[in-house]
Chain A
Amino acid sequence: MELDLLVEQFKQQDEKAFESLYNMYSTSMHGVINNIVRDTEIANEVMQDVFIKAWHNAGTYSAEKGRFFTWILNIARNAAIDKTRSKSFKNAKQNLNADFFVDIIETHESLNDKTDAIGIGKFIKKLAKKCVEVIELLYFKGYTQNEASEALNMPIGTIKTRNRNCIKELRAIVLT
Chain B
Amino acid sequence: MDIKAYIESGILELYVAGALSEKENMEVHALMQEHPEILQEVLEIEKAITQLTAATSRDKDQAALENIKERLGFNPKVIPITKPKYNWVTYTGWAASVILTLGLFWTINKNKQLSSDIQTVTIEKSYLEQQIEAANTNLNDAKTLISVLRDDNITQVPLAGQGNFAQTYAKVYWDKDQQRIFLDAAGLPEPPAGKVYQVWSLTLNPLTPVSLGTLDSFITDDNKIFEIENLNQSEAFGITLEPEGGSESPTMEQLYTLGVVATTS
Q: Which residues of A contact B (CB under 8 A)?
A: 15, 18-19, 22-32, 34-35, 40-41, 43-44, 47-48, 51-52, 55, 63-67, 69-71, 73-74, 101, 104-106, 110, 112-113, 115-118, 120-121, 124, 135, 138-140, 142-145, 148, 159-161, 163-164, 167, 170-171, 174-175
- B260 adjacent to chain A (CB < 8 Å): no
- B112 adjacent to chain A (CB < 8 Å): no
Chain A to chain B contacts (Cβ below 8 Å), 26 pairs = A23-B65, A27-B60, A44-B60, A52-B68, A52-B72, A64-B25, A66-B18, A66-B25, A69-B46, A69-B49, A74-B18, A104-B56, A113-B60, A116-B54, A118-B55, A120-B55, A121-B55, A138-B13, A138-B17, A139-B17, A144-B19, A144-B21, A145-B19, A145-B20, A161-B10, A175-B51
Q: Which residue of B lies closest to A165 (CB)?
A: B10
- B47 adjacent to chain A (CB < 8 Å): yes
Contact status B60-A40, CB under 8 Å:
yes
Contact status B26-A64, CB under 8 Å:
yes
A-B pair count, CB < 8 Å, reads: 177
- B190 adjacent to chain A (CB < 8 Å): no
Q: Which residue of A lies closest to B56 (CB)?
A: A31
Q: A25-B50, A143-B19, A145-B20 are in contact. Are A105 and B11 (CB under 8 A)?
A: no
Q: How many residues of B contact A (CB 8 A)?
A: 45
Q: Specify which chain B residues have a CB less than 8 angstroms from the CB of A175 in the assembled complex.
A: 44, 47-48, 51
Complex Cα spacing A70 to B64, Å: 21
Distance from A132 Cβ to chain B, minimum over Cβ atoms (Å): 11
- B59 adjacent to chain A (CB < 8 Å): yes
Those of B1-51 within 8 Å (CB) of chain A: 8-11, 13-22, 25-26, 29, 42, 44-51
Distance from A44 Cβ to chain B, minimum over Cβ atoms (Å): 4
Contacts A15-B69, A31-B54, A163-B17 supplied; 9 other A-B pairs, CB < 8 Å: A18-B74, A26-B60, A26-B65, A35-B53, A48-B67, A52-B68, A64-B29, A104-B56, A120-B55
Complex Cα spacing A105 to B51, Å: 12
Complex Cα spacing A28 to B60, Å: 10
Q: Specify which chain A residues have a CB less than 8 angstroms from the CB of B48 in the assembled complex.
A: 167, 170-171, 174-175
Distance from A149 Cβ to chain B, minimum over Cβ atoms (Å): 10
Contact status A48-B71, CB under 8 Å:
yes
Q: Which residue of B lies closest to A124 (CB)?
A: B55
Contact status B57-A117, CB under 8 Å:
yes
